Amino acid sequence: MIKKTGRQTLIFTNAPVITGYASVVGKKEAQGPLGALFDKCISDSRAGCKTYEDAESSLQRDAAMLALKKSGLDAKDIDISLAGDLLNQCIASAFAQKDLKIPYLGQYGACSTMAQALLTAAVFAESGAAENVLCSASSHFCSAERQYRFPMEYGEIRTPTAQWTVTGAGSCVVSAGGKGVSIAAATPGIITDAGVTDANNMGAAMAPAVGIIRPYYPAEDADWQAFTSQIQRKGEKPAG
The pLDDT value recorded for residue 105 is 97
Q: How far apart are CA 162 and CA 203, in angstroms?
A: 9
The pLDDT value recorded for residue 5 is 87
The pLDDT value recorded for residue 106 is 96
The pLDDT value recorded for residue 177 is 92
The pLDDT value recorded for residue 234 is 47
Separation of first and last alpha carbons in the chain: 16
The pLDDT value recorded for residue 219 is 52
Q: For the residues of 49-79, what is the DSSP string, one character each?
A: SSSHHHHHHHHHHHHHHHHHHHHT--GGG-S
Give the 3-state secondary structure percentages of the chain, helix then strand then coil, rounded to 5. 40, 20, 40
Range of the domain at 50: 2-239
Residues of the chain with pLDDT under 50: 211-216, 234-240
The pLDDT value recorded for residue 231 is 52
Q: What is the CATH number of the domain that holds 80?
A: 3.40.47.40
How buried is residue 77: exposed, middle or buried, by Cβ count under 10 Å (0-12/13-18/19+)?
middle
Is 0.85 topped by the overall pTM?
Answer: no
The pLDDT value recorded for residue 142 is 87
Residue 131 and residue 79 in contact, taking contact as beta carbons nearer than 8 Å: yes
Number of domains in the chain: 1
- The number of beta carbons lying within 10 Å of the beta carbon of residue 220 is 9
Q: Which of 162, 146, 35 is nearest to 87 (CA)?
A: 146
| Three-state SS sequence of 72-92 | CCCHHHCCEEEEECCCHHHHH
Work out whether the CA dihedral 165, 171, 176, 179 comes out positive or negative.
negative
